Amino acid sequence: MEAVECERQVFEADNPQAANEALIRKALCYRKMNDYSKASESLGRVRMYLMEPEERNELLLNKALCSAKAQNTEDALSCLEQIIASGTEVGAELKSQLDELQNSRPAPKSEDKAMLLSMLPPLGHCYTENYKAGAVSLALNALAAGWTLWQCLEGCWISGLLGGGIALNYTYMGGIGESIALVGKYNDEQKLLFNEALLALICAHIPAE
The tens digit of pLDDT for each residue in 65-101 reads 999 999 999 999 999 999 999 888 888 999 999 999 9
Kindly tell me the burial class for residue 158, based on how many C-beta atoms sit within 10 Å of its own C-beta (0-12, 13-18, 19 or more): exposed
Q: Which amino acid is at 103?
A: N
The total of other beta-carbon atoms located within 10 Å of residue 35's CB is 18
SS3 92: helix
Residues in the chain: 209
SS3 147: helix
Q: Are 1 and 9 in contact (CB under 8 A)?
A: no
- The string of pLDDT tens digits covering residues 125-177 is 888 888 888 787 777 767 766 666 666 666 666 665 666 566 666 676 777 88
SS3 142: helix
